[in-house]
Structure 1
Amino acid sequence: MSYGVAALMVLSLAGCTPRIEVAAPKEPITINMNVKIEHEIHVKVDKDVESLLKNRSDLF
């Protein structure tokens, strides 16, 4: 009789196992990359170089 009760308990617990499903999303994944990059470059020069650039504008 005890084997029958044990078998009945095992069968009743077997129905309680969790079920896990993995499904792909219905819509594609989109990544919005709207990025604005701004930069400034400051150059510090010697007074001699600055005067040379002012006097000789044909260098560049």
Structure 2
Amino acid sequence: MKKSLRPTGSVLARVLMILTLPLAMIACTPTVQMAAPKEPITVNLNVKIEHEIYIKVDKEVDDLFSEKGLF
């Protein structure tokens, strides 16, 4: 019996699949890109702050501060 040197269809198909597998894996690799924004980042700080402070001082303590001149 003489063996043929020509590959059969299934062997050829396997070789093609093996050769195209790395190409397919490279094509499906995700790409990550970093880019600066085209417009500057703006922060709007239009804030209105209102506060009220209530201080209650005992009459004796108020007299003490006014006599000694601590403040």
The interval holding the TM-score normalised by the smaller chain is 0.5 to 0.7
The Cα RMSD (Å) is 2.4
Which has more radius of gyration?
2
Point out the more displaced range, 40-49 or 6-15: 40-49
TM-score, structure 1 length as denominator?
Answer: 0.57
Question: After TM superposition, where is structure 1 displaced by more than 6 Å over at least 4 residues in a row?
Answer: none
Unaligned runs of 5+ in 1: 53-60
Tell me the matched-pair count.
Answer: 51
Unaligned runs of 5+ in 2: 1-10, 64-71
Which structure ranks higher in relative contact order (CA pairs < 8 Å, sequence separation ≥ 6)?
A: 1
Identity %: 51
CA distance in 2, matches of 1:20, 1:9: 22
Q: Which residue of 1 aligns with 2:40?
A: 28
TM-score, structure 2 length as denominator?
Answer: 0.51
